[in-house]
Amino acid sequence: MEGQRNTINTAFPQDLDAFCSEPSGRYFLAVNALTPNLKSLENQAVPVYRLPNEILSYIFELANVPHPTQDLSRWSVSQVSRLWQQTALHTPRIWSTICISNHRAVEACVIRSGSAPLDIDLYIDHAYSAHLTDFQGYMDILVPHMNRWRSLEFNGVPTKVYLPYLLSPAPQLEKLIIGMHYTNYRLPLESVLFAGSSPRLRELLLANAHIPLISPIYTGLTDLALFNASFNTSTISHLRSVLRACPQLHALHLEEIHLGSSSAAASSAPDPGSIELPYLSFITARGVEPELVHGVLVSVHPSPSLELQTYIDMESQLDRLGSVLPLESDLSRTLPNLSRVERVAFQFGLEEEDVEGVGYFYLAGETRSGVSVLDLTYVSMYPTSFTSTLLRAIGETLHFPSLKWLEFVGLSNALFSAEQFAELLEHLPSITQLDFKHCSASFIETLAVTPTRHLCPRLRHLVIDHSNISGSGLETVLESRNEAGEGDAEGRYLMFGVGSLHVSRCEAVGAGTLERLRYLVDFYLSETQDTGDLNFHTNLQYMLD
- Predicted confidence (pLDDT) per residue in 285-314, tens digit: 999 988 899 999 989 999 988 999 998 887
Side-chain-side CA neighbours of 103 within 13 Å: the count stands at 10
First to last CA, the chain: 82
CA 231 to chain centre: 25
Task: Look at residue 492 in the predicted model and tell me its pLDDT.
Answer: 38
Does 96 map to a domain? no
Task: Look at residue 477 in the predicted model and tell me its pLDDT.
Answer: 92
Does 267 map to a domain? no
CA 476/CA 303 separation, integer angstroms: 47
Ramachandran assignment for 175, one of left (phi > 0), alpha (psi -120 to 50 degrees), beta (any other): beta
Does 426 map to a domain? no
Q: At what angle do helices 103-112 and 129-142 cross, to 10 degrees?
A: 20
Q: How far is CA 151 from CA 204, 265, 407, 439, in A?
A: 10, 38, 44, 50
pTM for the complete prediction?
0.79
The strand ranges marked E within 134-222 are: 149-155, 175-179, 203-207
Domain hosting residue 29, numbered range = 2-45
Q: Which residues fall within 8 angstroms of residue 373, CB to CB, at 6 or more apart?
A: 306, 307, 308, 335, 337, 338, 340, 341, 365, 366, 367
Task: Look at residue 5 in the predicted model and tell me its pLDDT.
Answer: 43
Task: Look at residue 226 in the predicted model and tell me its pLDDT.
Answer: 95
Task: Look at residue 339 in the predicted model and tell me its pLDDT.
Answer: 86
DSSP letter assigned to residue 71: -
Task: Look at residue 315 in the predicted model and tell me its pLDDT.
Answer: 67
CB atoms within 10 A of CB 34: 11
CA 162/CA 159 separation, integer angstroms: 5
**Which strand (E) or helix (H) includes residue 266?**
helix 263-268
Does 519 map to a domain? no
Looking at the structure of the chain, the number of domains it has is: 1
CA 512 to chain centre: 46
CA 233/CA 259 separation, integer angstroms: 7
Task: Look at residue 21 in the predicted model and tell me its pLDDT.
Answer: 57
Task: Look at residue 352 in the predicted model and tell me its pLDDT.
Answer: 54
**Which strand (E) or helix (H) includes residue 353?**
none
472 three-state secondary structure: helix
The 10 Å CB-count burial string (b at 16+, else e) for 473-502 is bbbebbbebeeeeeeeeeeeeebbbbeebb
Task: Look at residue 25 in the predicted model and tell me its pLDDT.
Answer: 57
Q: Which residues fall within 8 angstroms of residue 342, CB to CB, at 6 or more apart?
A: 366, 367, 368, 400, 402, 403, 404, 405
Q: Which residues fall within 8 angstroms of residue 203, CB to CB, at 6 or more apart?
A: 151, 174, 175, 176, 177, 221, 222, 223
Task: Look at residue 516 in the predicted model and tell me its pLDDT.
Answer: 85
pLDDT under 70: residue ranges of the chain:
1-45, 48, 50, 65-73, 101, 125-130, 181-188, 190-191, 261-273, 315-319, 328, 330, 350-358, 395, 484-496, 527-545
Length of the chain counted residue by residue: 545
Nearest partner of 123 among 70, 183, 185, 199, judged by Cα? 70
Does 15 map to a domain? yes
